[in-house]
Chain A
Amino acid sequence: MSHNLSKKLLSVFLLVVLTFFACKKAIDDPNTNVDIQNQVNIDLALVPYSKLSDYKFFKGDLKNQDPNTDVIPYQPASSLFTDYAKKKRFIWLPNGTKGNYVADHELIELPVGAVLIKTFYYDSVQPSNNTRIIETRLMIKKTTGWIFAEYVWNEDQTEAYLQMDGSYAAISWLQNGVTKSTNYRIPSETECLICHKKNNQAVPIGIKPQNLNTDYPFSSGIQNQLQKWVALGKLDNNIPNSIVSTVDYNDESHSLRLRLRSYLDINCAHCHRENSHCDYRPLRLAFDETDESVNMGICVPPDEQINPSLVEIIVPGNINKSMMHFRLNSTEAGNRMPLLGRTIVHEEGVNLLRQFILSINNCD
């Protein structure tokens, strides 16, 4: 009895904490959640459901994104920039199934029924200075392959509804004390596939050992994510001891090159790698490819001439004549890179690129 009571109190406490600190990383550990009534509800014949709540990924108020039993929060080492939106990511696998390691840089092979969940939100949204959840994107693996399911949150933040045609959400928020605004693009199903594909088959992007070989603050304690998945029985224990891994591009303890390669992998490689949307261009920006400078575009002339002064994709020591810098620094839809997912400049990312370009003086 006292145990139950204390557990309830803990739940209330967690709810309060999450309500106030919705921006913080989810701290629940699925191991501690054993509430049978709140089992995740996935019927592959019926998904995508019309409402996000139908899946029962979360307990309590939906907007708290409090993961239910076996819904595992995760975070890649570096993350995609999408107009400064914050993200919460979760993975759910059917009972008794697990993922398989393929290679450091390849997607973890996930079982049929697997669901990836990613919620996009902003804090300090003006004028009320509150948190606003905009969308939750799902990828669900059916027997025929991955499908996309896009849920757009209502104004009351009580529910998100399936909406596959794309839309906008005008939003202003404080970013490090500075007001920023964007007409946030919620993608259509068609747009999802532009990035999430390999030879035109829908695929996830971030679920690779190289990106998950980092610690995460689970409610049970900080632990390496891959090891945690293995411990939970959600990943086959065949992962090698040493994994060639990306890093957090914000982590200044790593070299500029390693940070930039990590940034380029998660922000650019879904198009600029073999068998992807833009593989006809010379760039190869996946982390396992950028160990060669030429694949990063260093001293490589661009195919498309925007301006004759942009002589190479990356000119060692010369920001002004580097096409990559021009494109990352542009907001014009016809010039900017990445093509989708951002309408404003990611100043920290551009700054990282700038530092890297200035740090090199040859093509090697």
Chain B
Amino acid sequence: MKKLLLFTLLLTTKVIGQQTCSTSQLITAGTYTIDSIDGTEIPNPICASGGGGATNGKWYKYIPTNDYTVTVTTDFTVNGNVDNRVHIYNGNCGSLNCIAGDDDNGAGYLCLVSFQVVQGSEYFIAFDDKWDANGFIFELIETSAVVIDTTYVNFTPEFISTIAGSYKIAVSDMNGDYLDDIVSVTDNNVQIHYQSTTGTFNAVNYTTPTIPNMPSWSMAIADYNKDGYNDLLYGGGNGVSFLKSNGNGTGYSHSTTSNYVFSQRSNFIDLNNDGNLDAFVCHDVAPNVFYMNDGNGNLTFNQGGIGDHPNGGNYGSIWIDYNNDGLQDLFIAKCRGGQNTAKINELHRNNGDGTFTNVSVQANLSDSVQTWSSAWNDFDNDGDMDVVVGASSFSDGSHKVMKNNGDGTFTNITTGSGWDVFTGLSIEYVSYDFNNDGFADVFTNDYIMYNNGDFTFTPIQVPMGVAAVGDLNNDGFLDVQVGNNIYFSSGNSNNWIKLNLEGVQSNRNGIGARVEVYGSWGKQIRDVQAGIGFRHMGTLNTHIGIGSASSIDSIIVMWPSGQKDLICSPSINTNLLVVEGNGTLPVSDFSVNFNTINAGESVNISDLTSNCPTNWVYAISPSTGWQFINGTTVTSQNPQIQFNNSGTYTVSLSASNFNGQSLNSDSEIINVLSTIGINELADTKIAIYPNPTSEKLNINVSAKFQLKEIKLFSSFGSLIQVVEPTNIIDVSSLSTGIYFIEFNSINNELIRLKFVKD
């Protein structure tokens, strides 16, 4: 051991770490000694955990000669109890970007960090004295570049120095352009970093009155006064405060009731389904509270009726429609020490009349595991919402994966899911599809549990903990804002769509809407929510990944009002604005296999309507002389109609879908020729074959029929040719299609037959 130590020391290269970024000297792979952290330039931004407060730094520059995976490590026994920290940058001195960073991944408090580098690019490696200024050795190791697994996504931080405020826990659009903005607040200021279409942020501060309750425990955002600009809820330890936009998003008025509320998770939800958002707040130590909206943006405090355990224990409320009845139900992740039933999780079924029924026991969700939030989504894409109940402590049980059976009950399928062996604990569990593969994942602490689609999850460590989730560069892949850092997702080749909802009769944000997305995968569903996980507020846009599928058949938005909007074949990899009531209408279109037939014959209709019709109504004029056959009806998509009487008929179609009737009506003319008195002759007196034919048509005429002449007609009834009596006709020169052949006898009997030229 001693020998190895000596050997290491001998190999140490003496490149003096520099005082500043701009004076840093180039290093290559090897081991280096730092005598002490005494450089004047403090590394900024901070790429490792632990926050600011360093007073000195030590700087190195590195330019790889190849694409590599590089490891920077101080994890050497000789470094003993030194507590160091490292930041890895690219960019230019003065405006550096974090590539990676580490505090304590090595033994004790030593650093160990790996990252990908590109040949010829310039990187900076900077240590700081956040913890201590003692010297140490470090090594830079180059190994061949890892082929990045695009199954998952990578996150890289970008430091936004201008984000200010005591609470930087919210990402949400604030100005109605559906681009996620960054919201940070203090007790007298709301700061919004508006995301621009060019990917930059424009910071604006709005002074507010002094707000008595800060979002110490949670923040929720939605447009409860329905002015097109989102409003804020601060869930504090002693009460709840609201900030309401002033009608144009340039200022906020404040309201607080005096009621004592030990807030935990808060949400906006339309509890009485009147089209106006109400607010729900978990109470830590008493029955839950909610604030009813009078329709004018005035909120009235209520307590009791939705989770009334006298000792509370309410930590993570999340609104989902677990029984697919179109009403948003409430799950409460619960927690409480001691012998206390307040720890038992609750599921409250929305009865649709403003009342809720606790169905936890019958649903098999009355679990006493200590949880502060739980992640809901349809993890197996079978059309109902499942839940990962995430433990905050293992003292009363651990994580559970509960599959929705579709009948109001859930089955514990944790074993083998990956959650049974996942030892992480957290107060935060949120579900989004981070890699856009079409299967909703779960984010907890510094892990994304990637959903493999079969109720198994693969834990992948990420460089940040759960915070405010949104799309902060509008690329369709979800990013995470942690304080002043935005961890941008690398994305991958998967396709996606992002829904921007605008309620009209329903609440403005469409919160409580159920979204269904149909395509080659079958069906994906989402419930639109304001406030998931424990503390943060994330995007109100609905993100849906579709993996490698190249199209979406249709999307149905089922609004809380009952309105259903269908969007047919939307463009992918873009934002889709859905305004309540403005779903796409079908365009009616159909074809028939014959426009001219004999009485007694039938036509087959082929529907060609576009924009996802769901209903068809055919009309036939005149109203008699025909009938639907083979079990088809007037509302079949592809009916068959037999015409009994000769004449000219008009068949027309008006198709509809959720959004209403098509604006057009398509129609076809059907000519039905008279065959009264001759059909029976045809049966017995003349035969033609083969039919269809490509060259010759044989004619077999009974002796009873004294043939005078033969006429060929097109399907539209125009005369093509008159043929002298014969028993074979050459039809090879006819183009393919349907023809009629008419036989006249010297007794003026007429027989018309149909054949097909191949």
Contact = CB atoms under 8 A, between A and B. Distances in A.
A198 interface: yes
Given A304-B427, A308-B446, A280 B260 contact: no
Interface in B158-191: 166
Interface in A302-357: 303-305, 307-309, 311, 317-318, 320-321, 332-334, 339-340
Interface string A18-39: 0000000000000000000000
Contact of A308 (B49, B237, B258, B338): B49
Contacts of B311: 193, 200
B339 interface: yes
A348 B621 CA distance: 95
Interface string B339-372: 1101100000000000000000000000000100
A37 B258 CA distance: 41
Interface stretch (B88-96, B245-253, B388-396, B588-596): B388-396
Interface stretch (A216-224, A237-245, A269-277): A269-277
Nearest to B424: A305
B313 to A, nearest CB: 10
A191 interface: yes
A320 B214 CA distance: 26
Interface string A235-259: 0000000000000000000000000
B103 interface: yes
A166 interface: yes
B260 A271 contact: no
B51 A277 contact: no
Interface string B565-593: 00000000000000000000000000000
B426 interface: yes
A187 to B, nearest CB: 9
A141 to B, nearest CB: 20
A277 B337 contact: yes
A224 B469 CA distance: 59
B713 interface: no
A199 interface: yes
B426 A279 contact: no
A199 B217 contact: no
Given A194-B285, A280-B370, A307 B338 contact: no
B109 A198 contact: no
Interface string B634-659: 00000000000000000000000000
B51 A307 contact: yes
Contacts of A321: 83, 104, 109, 131
B285 A193 contact: yes
B49 A280 contact: no
Contact of B465 (A188, A277, A305, A339): A305
Contacts of A309: 48-51, 103-104
A305 B462 CA distance: 14
Which of A193, A198, A280, A318 is most buried by chain B, counting CB atoms within 10 A of its CB? A280
Contacts of A7: none
Contacts of B338: 197-200, 274-277, 279
Interface string B234-254: 001110000000000000000
Interface residues of B, number: 45
B425 A307 contact: no
A165 interface: yes
Q: Name which of B50, B131, B338, B339 has the most chain A CB atoms within 10 A of its CB.
A: B338
B445 A305 contact: yes
B58 interface: no
Contact of A334 (B103, B217, B336, B392): B217
Contacts of A317: 81
Given A280-B393, A281-B393, A318-B83, A200 B285 contact: no
B243 to A, nearest CB: 18
Contacts of B342: 200
B286 interface: yes
A185 B212 CA distance: 12
A103 interface: no
Interface residues of A, number: 37
Contacts of A359: none
A321 B109 CA distance: 9
A41 interface: no
Contacts of B258: 165
B327 interface: no
A158 interface: no
Contact of B335 (A185, A200, A280, A333): A280
A129 interface: no
Nearest to B392: A303
A280 B338 CA distance: 8
Contacts of A340: 237
B193 interface: no
Contacts of B214: 333
A273 B262 CA distance: 22
Contacts of A166: 238, 260
B285 A311 contact: no
B757 interface: no
Contacts of A280: 335-337, 343, 370, 392-393, 395-396
A299 interface: no
Given A308-B446, A321-B131, A190 B285 contact: yes
Contacts of A62: none
A332 B168 CA distance: 13
Given A200-B311, A304-B392, A318-B83, A279 B104 contact: no
A334 B336 CA distance: 17
Interface string A272-292: 001111111100000000000
A243 B131 CA distance: 42
Contact of A190 (B286, B339, B445): B286
Contacts of B445: 305
Nearest to B239: A166
Contacts of A279: 337-338, 395
A166 B338 CA distance: 25
B260 A311 contact: no
Contacts of B131: 318, 320-321
B216 A334 contact: yes
A107 to B, nearest CB: 16
Interface string A55-79: 0000000000000000000000000
Nearest to B50: A309
Given A197-B338, A309-B49, A318-B131, 14 more contacts: A165-B258, A199-B338, A199-B339, A200-B311, A277-B336, A279-B395, A280-B336, A280-B370, A281-B395, A304-B426, A304-B427, A308-B465, A309-B51, A320-B50
29 contacts: A165-B258, A166-B260, A190-B286, A194-B262, A199-B338, A199-B339, A200-B338, A200-B339, A200-B340, A275-B337, A276-B337, A277-B337, A277-B338, A279-B337, A280-B335, A280-B337, A280-B392, A280-B393, A280-B395, A281-B395, A308-B49, A308-B103, A309-B104, A318-B109, A333-B217, A333-B237, A334-B237, A334-B535, A340-B237
Interface of B: 48-51, 81, 83, 103-104, 109, 130-131, 166, 214, 216-217, 236-238, 258, 260, 262, 284-286, 311, 335-340, 342-343, 370, 392-393, 395-396, 425-427, 445-446, 465, 535
Top 9 A-B pairs ranked by shortest CB distance? A333-B216, A279-B337, A309-B50, A308-B49, A280-B393, A280-B395, A333-B237, A334-B216, A199-B339
